Structure 1
Amino acid sequence: MKVRTRFAPSPTGFIHLGNIRSALYPWAFARSQGGDFILRIEDTDVERSSQAAVDVILEGMAWLGLTHDEGPFYQMQRMDRYREVIEQMKAKDLVYPCYMSIEALNALREHQIETKQKPRYDGTWRPEPGKTLPPVPEGVQPVYRFRNPVGGVVAWDDKVKGRIEIGNDELDDLVIARPDGTPTYNFCVVVDDIDMAITHVIRGDDHVNNTPRQINIFRALGHEPPVYAHLPTVLNEKGEKMSKRNGAKPVTQFRDEGFLAEGMVNYLARLGWSHGDEEIFTREQFLQWFDLDHLGRSAAQFDEAKLRWVNAQHLKAMSDEALAVHVEAHLKQRGIAPDARLAAICGLFKDRCDTTVALADWAQRFYQPIVPDAEEAAKHLTDTVKPAVAMLAKMLEGGEWTKEAIGVSVKETLRATGLKMPQLAMPVRVLVMGTAQTPSLDAVLALCTREQVLARLAAMPI
């Protein structure tokens, strides 16, 4: 049996990291098993769904490389199929019309709550042998309810939560079609999973309560349900469920903030799954190792500091040329057109950065005027060292413009003035790069143009 998984988001808000993890795992499982990954947009909540939310879903998945083999399928485009199945279920007496009004249903639930019963539909309109149904009210369009089995249990072996059993008597008869004929969520999901031959459903544990209802509909339609794996919730840094209401960011915002797709996939993979003690791994290793047996059972908590650390490891491991592509995009957004030096600049500064935006901040200093940090300038540009800085500037006017030649000029200045390296390097860094904290002085100066260095040193206050 070929593995077929799906990601079925509802486009009622932007997709955040907690959501996208529910795409990562089914994608990874399909890829690791040589199966298919299907994208389905569950857009039946017409009032809250938006094309903008769909666009963020597609954009976020494309950025992370979570490519789908089929889809995207939109539930609103499958209404005829759902109505066809509902008619089949009517013919098989699997559903029945219910004329109970909203007011009557609310009154029933209030009574059940007052008498400490579980709020549930009481089966007033469910046909049974020997039962007399109430008279059908005039001009009222019914909902259609699924005949849930009576007695026994619904059970499944969840790949995360283990064996789960729910008594059928705990489940009331689910509404599968509204008065206007539009189908409801739990019904649509089952029809979709059957039609798309889904073998494994890997989703958030907020769907656990839906699962027994869906399993009963599967079996009523003559199909065995897929394998289920219900993932624990992702919490934000405050320990709350991650959601847009609790400050969660759209996944695409992490891209804009300079996080790498490889770093994000690595971090998200570890947010609920593990392979021994491995913390840093490539996408290829992840797909080689991934299985459903090592999914965590406890809620995972987002930690931006950890994400930044993971991203920094991938940034360091990336080639200078590949990094330059990302940094160039940031610079162009700032109106800066970099040149052939950019890859070397990325190579020199990437060990100091945890995002490509931070790397672009460094690179920008090579392409636009800088303003030396006033506090650092006051600290390092003393009257004692100013003559040495002027001497170095004079020496840099001629000769080759290479790291080695610049290094010789620096050493010669130190020998002539009797200063230590930090006494000269710090003020030169402040003048040339705006800060005293940079990589080695000769390497930084070599990546600047001679004209830049001389102009910035000449701007030293007297």
Structure 2
Amino acid sequence: MTKVITRFAPSPTGHLHIGGARTAIFSWLLAKHFNGEFLLRIEDTDFERSKQEYTDSILASMAWLGLTWSGETIYQSKRLAVYNEYVDKLLSENKAYWCKCTPQELEARREEAKAKGEAFHYDGRCRSLNLEKGEGYAVRLKIPSSGMVRFDDLVKGQIAIDVNELDDMVIRRADGTPTYNLAVVVDDATMGVSVVLRGDDHVSNTPKQILIYEALGFKQPQFGHVPMILGADRQKLSKRHGAKAVIDYKEDGLLPEALVNYLVRLGWSHGDQELFNTQELIELFTTDHLNNSAAGFDPEKLLWINAQHLRSKSPEELYPLLEEFLNKLGLNTFDKELILRLIPLYQPRVNTLVELAEALRPALSSLDKLEYEPKAAAQFSDEGKMRLKALSDLLTQIDDKGFDVPAVENCIHKYVEDNSLKFKQVGPVLRAALTGQSGGPSLPEFMSAIGKNNTLLRIKKVLL
């Protein structure tokens, strides 16, 4: 079996978005599944729109998603001489020719065809002129005069295009730069790429590229074109559908493995299974189950999947991921052991790391910065404070080392029973004093986590 070598080839004209990320993930998983190689190429020959900040963002997004690649990153901008070498080879073998048609002339012919209701095709008028290199001349590939271009798409099946639907394409522009199709073919062939997975907006490029492969004598890779991701309204995905750049999902507190899980399921399936860890995806992923129909992006489903992954992690796994978000809240003098005790109390209640950090804020805030929600503060009536004082006296009697969940639970239960009260007459004011909020996790678990001293100090602050 030929070694599986895949690649991802983004253009640094913007941040990495989820459509590109999904293509990268599919290519990475396929290579991993077959113990092959996954390569990265930055297609930065659009010198006006390509920016280093976008390259940096793409690389950071790839690293965050865990999409490691083999070897060095390839930059097309550094390979112009290589492309020109292959164009010159085609010229020398009479498989390409110089074209003197100017952009203005071509546009006039295009408008003329449009006026007649016809599709514009270059008529090959320079093909037989045997022109030498000239100022402002482009280079065109000679394509066959008849026949079909066929390929077996890994997703879409057999595709055949009549060459009469194509024309002698430009492979080097008048300014000396290679065209996209020429550069891609040279890169994929010289990099040894055996499988090209990409969006189905590239289907129309594939016959053209196959003709270049044939002209250069290169072995063709297998092609697979995955349908684009659509919005819930089945329109082209955009920000209004809730889609963002990958780096934004990181800032929103999503876990990378959750985003990978969700994006893979947008176009691939393994029975009815929804949740996968990355190792499972590597073991199970092949192109056999790639869908041929476009999937709709659902932000709520992504959030649900993220919540499931977040809840499956241990406090020790979540702690280093949380630090960044706690720092943003100004909680940068926190106690690691305290956080490890608190995380399990809030994991079932949140969907993202941002929400988890925010949920931990009351427990981690210093006494002078503890804030009270209006609904919580309303609990601090004279009667409420009287009950807090009584509870404080009882909690003080618990041994410092024995201040655990059962001890706290028994203490609160005893106070409620001895005073013929109901928990709802005690719990809300106690919670308000401890957290400044009207809702949250189990009080005995919270109190045990923050400890006896912190519990008593928080109650004391309300009583002063």
Structure 2 CA distance, aligned partners of 1:227 and 1:245? Answer: 35
Residue of structure 2 in register with 1:417 after alignment: 419
Q: CA deviation at 1:25?
A: 0.1
Aligned 8 A contact 1:233 1:299 in 2: yes
Aligned 8 A contact 1:5 1:38 in 2: yes
Out of 171, 186, 193, the residue aligned to residue 188 of structure 2 is 193
Mark the CA change 1:245 to 1:19 in structure 2 (over 3 Å): closer, same or farther: farther
The 5 Å alignment of 1:401-416 reads: 401-416=403-418
Aligned 8 A contact 2:98 2:131 in 1: no
Q: CA deviation at 1:75?
A: 0.4
Structure 2 CA distance, aligned partners of 1:334 and 1:385? Answer: 31
Structure 2 CA distance, aligned partners of 1:102 and 1:197? Answer: 35
Secondary structure (helix, strand or coil) at the match of 2:437 reads coil
Mark the CA change 1:190 to 1:243 in structure 2 (over 3 Å): closer, same or farther: farther
Secondary structure (helix, strand or coil) at the match of 2:223 reads strand
What amino acid sits opposite 2:435 in the alignment? M
Secondary structure (helix, strand or coil) at the match of 1:299 reads coil
Q: Do structure 1's residue 282 and structure 2's residue 277 form an aligned pair?
A: yes
Residue of structure 1 in register with 2:36 after alignment: 35
Q: CA deviation at 1:257?
A: 1.2
Residue of structure 1 in register with 2:394 after alignment: 395
Out of 336, 346, 349, the residue aligned to residue 349 of structure 1 is 346
Residue of structure 1 in register with 2:177 after alignment: 182
Q: Do structure 1's residue 257 and structure 2's residue 258 form an aligned pair?
A: no
Secondary structure (helix, strand or coil) at the match of 2:3 reads coil
The 5 Å alignment of 1:207-218 reads: 207-218=202-213
Once the two structures are superposed, residues 282-340 of structure 1 have per-residue CA deviations (whole angstroms, 9 ceiling, x without a partner) of 11111111010111111122211111110111111101111111112321233322211
Structure 2 CA distance, aligned partners of 1:26 and 1:345? Answer: 39
Aligned 8 A contact 2:389 2:463 in 1: no
Secondary structure (helix, strand or coil) at the match of 2:167 reads coil
Structure 1 CA distance, aligned partners of 2:207 and 2:267? Answer: 24
Residue of structure 2 in register with 1:373 after alignment: 373
When structure 1 is superposed on structure 2, of 32-41 and 146-155 the one drifting more is 146-155
Structure 1 CA distance, aligned partners of 2:313 and 2:245? Answer: 25
Mark the CA change 1:145 to 1:239 in structure 2 (over 3 Å): closer, same or farther: same
Identity of aligned pairs, percent? 40
Q: State the number of aligned residues.
A: 455
Aligned 8 A contact 1:240 1:246 in 2: no
Q: CA deviation at 1:377?
A: 3.8
Structure 1 CA distance, aligned partners of 2:130 and 2:34? Answer: 54
Q: CA deviation at 1:111?
A: 1.0
Structure 1 CA distance, aligned partners of 2:143 and 2:232? Answer: 41
Q: CA deviation at 1:452?
A: 3.0
Secondary structure (helix, strand or coil) at the match of 2:289 reads coil
The 5 Å alignment of 1:48-447 reads: 48-127=49-128, 133=129, 140-243=135-238, 248-336=243-331, 337-339=333-335, 340-368=337-365, 369-378=369-378, 380-381=379-380, 384-400=383-399, 401-447=403-449
Structure 1 CA distance, aligned partners of 2:425 and 2:197? Answer: 60
What amino acid sits opposite 2:389 in the alignment? A
What amino acid sits opposite 2:351 in the alignment? D
Segments of 5+ residues of structure 1 without an aligned counterpart are 128-132
Mark the CA change 1:244 to 1:407 in structure 2 (over 3 Å): closer, same or farther: closer
Structure 1 CA distance, aligned partners of 2:425 and 2:199? Answer: 58
Secondary structure (helix, strand or coil) at the match of 1:366 reads helix
Structure 2 CA distance, aligned partners of 1:79 and 1:458? Answer: 73
Structure 2 CA distance, aligned partners of 1:140 and 1:223? Answer: 30
Q: CA deviation at 1:443?
A: 0.4
CA-based RMSD:
2.0
Aligned 8 A contact 2:375 2:437 in 1: no
Q: CA deviation at 1:181?
A: 1.6
When structure 1 is superposed on structure 2, of 86-95 and 246-255 the one drifting more is 246-255
Mark the CA change 1:210 to 1:244 in structure 2 (over 3 Å): closer, same or farther: farther
Structure 2 CA distance, aligned partners of 1:139 and 1:174? Answer: 18
What amino acid sits opposite 1:436 in the alignment? S
What amino acid sits opposite 1:81 in the alignment? V
Mark the CA change 1:418 to 1:386 in structure 2 (over 3 Å): closer, same or farther: farther
Aligned 8 A contact 1:16 1:243 in 2: no
Structure 1 CA distance, aligned partners of 2:97 and 2:238? Answer: 37
What amino acid sits opposite 2:452 in the alignment? R
Secondary structure (helix, strand or coil) at the match of 2:106 reads helix
When structure 1 is superposed on structure 2, of 429-438 and 49-58 the one drifting more is 429-438
Aligned 8 A contact 1:272 1:299 in 2: yes
Structure 2 CA distance, aligned partners of 1:237 and 1:71? Answer: 38
TM-score of the aligned structures, taking structure 2 as reference length: 0.93
What amino acid sits opposite 1:371 in the alignment? E
Secondary structure (helix, strand or coil) at the match of 1:70 reads coil
Secondary structure (helix, strand or coil) at the match of 2:426 reads helix
Secondary structure (helix, strand or coil) at the match of 1:300 reads coil
Residue of structure 2 in register with 1:130 after alignment: none
Secondary structure (helix, strand or coil) at the match of 1:30 reads helix
Once the two structures are superposed, residues 349-402 of structure 1 have per-residue CA deviations (whole angstroms, 9 ceiling, x without a partner) of 101111111111122212213222212443x55555443222112212232322
What amino acid sits opposite 1:387 in the alignment? M
TM-score of the aligned structures, taking structure 1 as reference length: 0.94
Structure 2 CA distance, aligned partners of 1:442 and 1:139? Answer: 85
Once the two structures are superposed, residues 97-145 of structure 1 have per-residue CA deviations (whole angstroms, 9 ceiling, x without a partner) of 1111111101111111111111121111111xxxxx4999x97421000
When structure 1 is superposed on structure 2, of 245-254 and 305-314 the one drifting more is 245-254
